[in-house]
Amino acid sequence: MRYVDEFVNARKAYQNKIHPFSPTKVLVGVIDDPKMKLLAQKLDDAKKLASIEMDEAVKAFDVYRPAYIKKINGQIYKEPQAIKIKATVQFFVGKLQKLVDDYHRECVAKQKVESDKASKAQVAVAKEQVKLIAADIKKISDEFHKRAVAYEKVAASVYQTCNQFSQRIGQTDKEMTQLATQAQTLTKGPANPAMLLKVKALAQGKQKVLEANVKGQEKIIERLKPFDKSTNLTPQDIARDLRIKLPDTANKDMENLSKKEGPLFQRANQMAGESRSMLKADAELLSKSQKLLAQINSVGGSQASAKAV
């Protein structure tokens, strides 16, 4: 037990130093103060603990030390050879100060070791945190890319099919317009009920084709509904869906993900928008066709219409 031994040795050395001056038993008793030895023992006990406990132990020793020296000085004044003994006190004070200084150095050294360990632990934790964040970002990236590809694939398929429907609808609309013109022409020449009935029958058939194609468009565009939330999808949305919470330091990574997958979403949005525009335009053609059919059916009077039915 280094420090309690150092104190005991310092105390013994001091007692030996004043022995030639015949100190009284009272002075020897004051010097032998058991509390001071106990505080020295606590210095050694605290060395087994953390630096904060060492600091507390040396503070307790240091706080009591002046009172201890004061008691010794107080008794020295009562000693027969007080002047000679008084001259030796600084020797003992120096020994105690050395003990405290040595302990302080050990305390500081332990603090540094603890600090280094804490720093290494923090670095290790930080590295592990970086790995976890990277893994979470990869999960978000994979899911974000997956949804972008799925949306773009469906939007492309819908656009292609809608375009085919739209081309057929456009052609049928032209044919309906031609039939309407033909019906009007028949009214200006010699009566030809059979041809008029044929035109009306053809017009009714074309109308059914238009209706079927527009319904086909409507049905194919329903495939876009599951992707309604994908039109403005962000990596942050994916993170919420996956219940991943990232620190602010990952904001740049999220921005990069948006830039990386952005073109896919933009193409998908563009094709989805054009598909819906085609449906709207073709629905208007269907409405126009219904009016043309009504005009065709009205040509030649109610009798011709009845025969057509």
CA 98 – CA 119 distance, rounded (Å): 31
Say if residue 195 is in the same domain as residue 288. Answer: yes
Over residues 174-232, the pLDDT tens digits come to 998 999 898 888 888 787 888 889 999 999 999 999 999 999 999 999 999 988 888 88
pTM: 0.58
State mean pLDDT over 31-59.
93
Domain assignment present for 47: yes
Residue 220 CB neighbour total at 10 angstroms: 19
Residue 180 lies in a domain: yes
174 and 37 part of one domain? no
Asked if 59 and 180 sit in the same domain, the reply is no
C-alpha dist (Å) from residue 128 to 13, 118, 134, 255: 56, 15, 10, 23
pLDDT digits (tens, 9 = 90+) for 136-184: 999 999 998 999 999 999 999 999 999 999 999 999 999 989 998 988 8
Last residue of a domain, one of 69, 87, 105: 87
Confidence at residue 124, expressed as pLDDT on a 0 to 100 scale? 86
pLDDT at 249 (0 to 100)? 85
Q: Could you tell me the sign of the dihedral formed by the alpha carbons of 252, 148, 141, 248, in that order?
A: positive
* CA–CA separation, 2 and 265 (whole Å): 74
108-118 mean pLDDT: 90
* 221 within domain boundaries: yes
In a domain, 95, yes or no: no
Is residue 21 within 8 Å of 81, Cβ to Cβ? yes
N- to C-terminal Cα separation, the chain: 120
pLDDT above 90: residue 280: yes
Average pLDDT over residues 27-36: 94
Please report the pLDDT score of residue 273 as a whole number.
Answer: 93
User: What pLDDT, on the 0 to 100 scale, is given for residue 119?
Assistant: 86
pLDDT band per the 50, 70, 90 thresholds, residue 59 = very high
157 and 302 part of one domain: yes
The answer to whether residue 196 sits within a structural domain is: yes
pLDDT for the residue numbered 118: 86
- Block residue for tokens 């004051």: 30
- Tell me, yes or no, whether 45 and 163 share the same domain: no
In this prediction, residues 121-150 reach a mean pLDDT of 90
Q: What is residue 230's predicted lDDT score, i.e. its pLDDT?
A: 82
211, part of any domain: yes
Which residue among 59, 87, 115 closes a domain? 87
What pLDDT does 1 receive? Answer: 59
| pLDDT higher than threshold 70 for residue 33 | yes
* Count of domains forming the chain: 2
Query: Does residue 106 lie in a domain region?
Result: no
193 and 265 share one domain: yes
**Which residues, other chains included, contact 190 with Cβ-Cβ below 8 Å and sequence gap of 6+?**
none
* pLDDT at 271 exceeding the cut of 90: yes
* Same-domain pairing of 83 and 151: no
Q: Are residues 49 and 148 in the same domain?
A: no
**What are the pLDDT digits (tens) for 66-105?**
999 999 999 999 999 999 999 999 999 999 999 999 999 9
Identify the pLDDT of residue 193: 87
Domain boundary among 70, 87, 104: 87
* pLDDT score at 262: 86
Q: What is the pLDDT, as a whole number, of residue 3?
A: 93
Q: Which range of residues forms the domain containing residue 13?
A: 2-87
Same domain, 166 and 300: yes
> Does 168 share its domain with 291?
yes
The answer to whether position 39 is within a domain reads yes
On whether the CB atoms of residues 28 and 15 are closer than 8 A, the answer is: yes
Regarding whether 291 and 164 lie in a shared domain, the answer is: yes
Residue 306 has what pLDDT? 37
Residues whose CB is less than 8 angstroms from the CB of residue 242 and which lie 6 or more positions away in sequence, other chains included: 139, 140, 143
90-94, 234-238, 269-273, 300-304, range with the lowest pLDDT: 300-304
pLDDT of residue 231: 82
pLDDT value of position 141: 92
Sign of the dihedral defined by the CA atoms of residues 52, 53, 57, 63, in that order = positive
Q: Are residues 173 and 284 in the same domain?
A: yes
Q: What mean pLDDT value characterizes the chain?
A: 90
pLDDT at 308: 42
